[in-house]
Amino acid sequence: MFRLCLLTGTALSLFSNSAFAQEPYQDAYDEIIVTGLRAVPFDDVTSSVSVIDALDISIRNSPYIADQLRAVPGVGLSRSGAVGGLSQIRIRGAEANHTLVLVDGIEVSNPVTGETDFGLWGGVNASRIEVARGEQSAVYGSDAIGGVVSMTTGQDGLRLEAEYGRFDTKRGALNYGGEANGVRFNLGASVFDTDGVDTAGLGGEKDGSSAYALGGSLGFDISDNWAASLLGSYRISSVATDPDLNFDGALDNADRDSDSEQILLGAKLDGQTGAVSHQVRGSYNDVTLTNEADTVFTDETQGERVKLSYSPSINFGTDEIGITASALIDYEAEDYVRISTDTLFGDPNQSQSFNTLGLSGELRARLDNIALNASLRRDDNDGRFDNATTWRVGGAYNFDFGTKLRGSFGTGVKNPTFTELFGFFPGSFVGNPDLTPETSESWEIGFDHSFETVTLSATYFDAALENEIFTVFNPDFSSSPANRDSDSDRSGVEVSTNWDVTSAWSLSGALSKISSSDNNDTPEIRVPEWTGSASVLWSSPTKDGFNIGAALDYVGSQDDFNFGTFPAERVTLDSYVLLSATAAYPLTDRIALTLRGENLLDEDTRDVFGFNSTGAGVFFGFRLR
Per-residue pLDDT at 575 exceeds 90? yes
Per-residue pLDDT at 20 exceeds 60? no
Least Cα distance to 460 among 490, 440, 498, 497 occurs for: 490
| 29 confidence band (pLDDT: 50, 70, 90) | very low
Give me the mean pLDDT over the 181-186 stretch: 91
pLDDT tens, position by position, 119-172: 777 667 788 999 999 999 999 999 899 999 999 887 788 999 999 999 999 999
Residue 506: per-residue pLDDT: 94
Give me the mean pLDDT over the 208-221 stretch: 92
- Supply the mean pLDDT for the chain: 89
List of residues 6+ apart from 23 with CB closer than 8 A = 31, 33, 38, 39
On the CB side of 533, how many CA atoms lie within 13 Å of its CA? 30
Tell me how far apart the alpha carbons of residues 574 and 603 are, in angstroms, rounded to a whole number. 10
pLDDT tens, position by position, 430-448: 889 999 999 999 999 999 9
Residue 521: per-residue pLDDT: 86
Per-residue pLDDT at 342 exceeds 90? no
Per-residue pLDDT at 199 exceeds 60? yes
Residue 502: per-residue pLDDT: 93
Give me the mean pLDDT over the 401-430 stretch: 90
User: Is the pLDDT higher at 415 or at 520?
Assistant: 415
Tell me how far apart the alpha carbons of residues 416 and 109 are, in angstroms, rounded to a whole number. 14
Residue 16: per-residue pLDDT: 33
Tell me how far apart the alpha carbons of residues 130 and 69 are, in angstroms, rounded to a whole number. 10
Per-residue pLDDT at 28 exceeds 70? no
Give me the mean pLDDT over the 593-606 stretch: 94
- Residues spanned by the domain of 497: 3-624
Rounded (5°) CA angle 144-150-152? 160
Rounded (5°) CA angle 259-263-267? 165
User: Is the pLDDT higher at 1 or at 352?
Assistant: 352
Residue 624 is which amino acid?
L
Preceding omega of 567 cis (within 30 degrees of 0):
yes
Q: Which residues of 334-371 are buried (b: 16+ CB within 10 A; e: fewer)?
A: bbbbbebebeebeebebeeebebbbebbbebbbeeeeb
* 571 sits in which H/E element: strand 569-573
Q: Which residues of 208-227 are buried (b: 16+ CB within 10 A; e: fewer)?
A: bbbbbbebbbbbeeeeeeeb
Cβ pair 277, 327 in contact under 8 A? no
Please spell the DSSP secondary structure of 256-320, one letter per residue: EEEEEEEEEEEEEEEEEETTEEEEEEEEEEEEEEEEEETTEEEEEEEEEEEEEEEEEEEEEE-SS
Residue 25: per-residue pLDDT: 30
Residue 17: per-residue pLDDT: 31
Q: Where is average pLDDT lowest: 33-37, 327-331, 356-360, 565-569?
A: 565-569
Tell me how far apart the alpha carbons of residues 441 and 389 are, in angstroms, rounded to a whole number. 12
User: Is the pLDDT higher at 347 or at 12?
Assistant: 347
List of residues 6+ apart from 386 with CB closer than 8 A = 436, 437
What CATH number does the domain containing 534 carry?
2.40.170.20
Least Cα distance to 314 among 42, 105, 45, 38 occurs for: 38
Q: Where is average pLDDT lowest: 119-123, 241-245, 397-401, 548-552?
A: 119-123
Give me the mean pLDDT over the 214-230 stretch: 94
Report the percentage of the chain scoring pLDDT > 70: 95
Cβ pair 342, 427 in contact under 8 A? yes
Count the neighbouring beta carbons within 10 Å of the beta carbon of residue 535: 24
Which phi and psi (to 5°) does residue 15 adopt? -60, -40
Give me the mean pLDDT over the 310-324 stretch: 92
Residue 123: per-residue pLDDT: 67
Residue 425: per-residue pLDDT: 76
Give me the mean pLDDT over the 346-371 stretch: 93
Residue 618: per-residue pLDDT: 96
Per-residue pLDDT at 8 exceeds 70? no
Give me the mean pLDDT over the 35-60 stretch: 91
Per-residue pLDDT at 6 exceeds 50? no
Residue 428: per-residue pLDDT: 80
Look at the chain and report how many structural domains it folds into: 1
Tell me how far apart the alpha carbons of residues 131 and 385 are, in angstroms, rounded to a whole number. 28
Per-residue pLDDT at 52 exceeds 80? yes
Give me the mean pLDDT over the 221-249 stretch: 90
Per-residue pLDDT at 589 exceeds 80? yes
What's the length of the chain?
A: 625
Cβ pair 262, 286 in contact under 8 A? yes
pLDDT tens, position by position, 278-310: 999 999 999 999 999 989 999 999 999 999 999
Residue 565: per-residue pLDDT: 76
Tell me how far apart the alpha carbons of residues 563 and 545 are, in angstroms, rounded to a whole number. 50
Residue 324 is which amino acid?
T
Handedness of CA 343, 346, 350, 355 (dihedral sign): negative
Tell me how far apart the alpha carbons of residues 41 and 319 are, in angstroms, rounded to a whole number. 10
Residue 23: per-residue pLDDT: 35
Least Cα distance to 621 among 172, 134, 62 occurs for: 172
